[in-house]
Structure 1
Amino acid sequence: MACMHDHSCEDHNCSADWSLYKHIDFSKVSALNESIAGSVKSVFKPWNRRLDTSEQGLLESNDGDPELLVFIPFTSDVKIKSISVVGGSGGTSPSKMRAFINRDGIDFSDAQNMQPVQEWELAENLQGVLEYQTRYSRFQSVASLTLHFPENFGGDTTQIYYIGLRGEATQLKRDVVATIVYEVTPNPSDHKTKADGGGGLSHVE
């Protein structure tokens, strides 16, 4: 499949049918150590806007502390194939990314001490042409994704303009399960009556 690699996808339509943008639960997206509260929500946008570096589309860590932790819940369970991150210039791009799945409410201490599902050494992806492939078998039935960016390329802050997720969404949220009740041993007296003379059962009309 196009774009499922760690090199340029300029020759492909990476906006694709595989974007998980529309499956993100934006009301619950959050970040730790963001300099402006709520700014993390602005980095999730359609592929064709990934190079929008306006101030309205920037997630930045607090000055002197480059670490960021981004929590991304979904409206349905998803399978994640790849992740793309567009960072800032001047050493402010994140240099490492660590991923945790279905772990709500973790903080920096948890993230530093827990074993991630996968981690990547990142390149400066200023033109948005890199995607990092997941170990796909580990990224099935993902209700939420937490991304830990522990360091950058030497800048005083970490800047992220875009986070792109590609994969597939399932039909149902994990906690919305249809319940079917079967009547295993119906009481015949509730539905039927003895037929005259035959001793058998017949339906009551």
Structure 2
Amino acid sequence: MPRDHHNHNHGHGHGHDEEHDHEHTHPPGEPPLPTTAAQSLLEYIDIGRIKVSNAVNPSTVGKLFTKEINTTPLCTDFEPELLITIPFTIPVKLVSVLITTPSPPEELKFYLKEQHDIESANNTKPTHMVQHPPNIGPSAEISASIVEHHLPRRKFPQTSEFSILLLGDLINNPNGKISISRLEIRGQALKPRKELPTSILYESAPNPNDHPIHERTEFQSSSTFNM
């Protein structure tokens, strides 16, 4: 997978002076709805079409989603920021993201629609964003070094492509690194909408020339009803 050489001289609009609406995903004092491994969307992820920006080893991104132990984490190349776009084979409803990061980011931004590069993601208001450990807050759970960030279900009702932007401390540690060894998306697969026929042939008064003589006696106009 080719590396995304985006312009690293762009202005980082995600400075910590911006409005951080790290909203809770559940009413205060109530835990988020629990999820299970059965809600994994792995089988609906189009692994071959996953995109990553600013990774030193982008070809390893697919290994993040496998059930096997990943010994080669995905690592940032330049500044501590990483963009991953995950396409699905059918529409899905998202409920949570589980992540294991040997070198964790400080913040995660989630986008309901695909973000083509880091610069455009930084200039786009995320659908949701959270702080990452050690200040995980009530919207995350820790179990065996895996952090689960619960997403507001009303904000992620349906999507076919989902982007995650991981951000480190660009001001105090611009040469820092972010690495990920495991990434799991949980939610619900949605049935694709059935396509309606583009046209319907309606014959209210059939042309006698279109039907053989033996069919004409049996053919009745749909505008005539016998009561």
In 2, the alpha carbon distance for the partners of 1:192 and 1:101 equals 57
Equivalent pairs counted in the alignment come to 179
> What does residue 30 of structure 1 align with?
51
* CA deviation after TM superposition for structure 1 residue 129, in Å: 4.0
Normalising by structure 2, we get a TM-score of: 0.67
* 1:184-199 equivalence runs, <5 A: 184-189=202-207, 190-191=210-211
Q: 1:60-113 CA deviation, whole Å, 9 max, x = no partner?
A: 001x5111000100000100011111101xxx2122110112235x21111111
* TM-score (normalised: structure 1): 0.74
Cα RMSD of the aligned pairs, angstroms, is 3.2
Q: Which residue of 2 aligns with 1:66?
A: 80
Q: Distance in 1 between matches of 2:202 and 2:146?
A: 58
Aligned to 2:122: 112
**1:198 corresponding residue in structure 2:** none
Instruction: State the distance in 2 between where 1:140 and 1:149 align.
Output: 22
Distance 1:117 1:192, change over 3 A: farther
* Distance change (3 Å), C-alpha of 1:13 and 1:32: closer
Q: Answer yes or no: is the 8 Å Cα contact 2:64–2:70 preserved in 1.
A: no
Within 5 A, what are the aligned runs for 1:89-128?
Answer: 92-103=103-114, 106-123=116-133, 127-128=144-145
**Cα distance change, pair 93–183 in 1 and its aligned pair in 2 (3 A):** same
| Cross-structure match for 1:135 | 152
Gap change, CA 1:136 and 1:170, over 3 Å in 2 = same
Identity of aligned residues (%): 20
| Matching residue's letter, 1:127 | A
- Tell me, what secondary structure is at the counterpart of 1:182? coil
What CA distance in whole angstroms lies between the structure 1 residues aligned with 2:45 and 2:85?
11
Structure 1 Cα separation of the partners of residues 143 and 71 of structure 2? 14
- Residue number among 53, 77, 81 corresponding to 2:91 in the alignment: 77
CA spacing shift, 1:7–1:53, aligned 2, 3 Å: farther
**1:135 Cα offset (Å):** 1.0
Q: 1:29 to 1:148 in 2, by over 3 A?
A: same
Question: Per the alignment, in what secondary structure is the counterpart of residue 83 of structure 1?
Answer: strand
List alignment gaps of at least 5 residues for structure 1: 196-200
User: 2:106 is matched by which residue type in structure 1?
Assistant: S
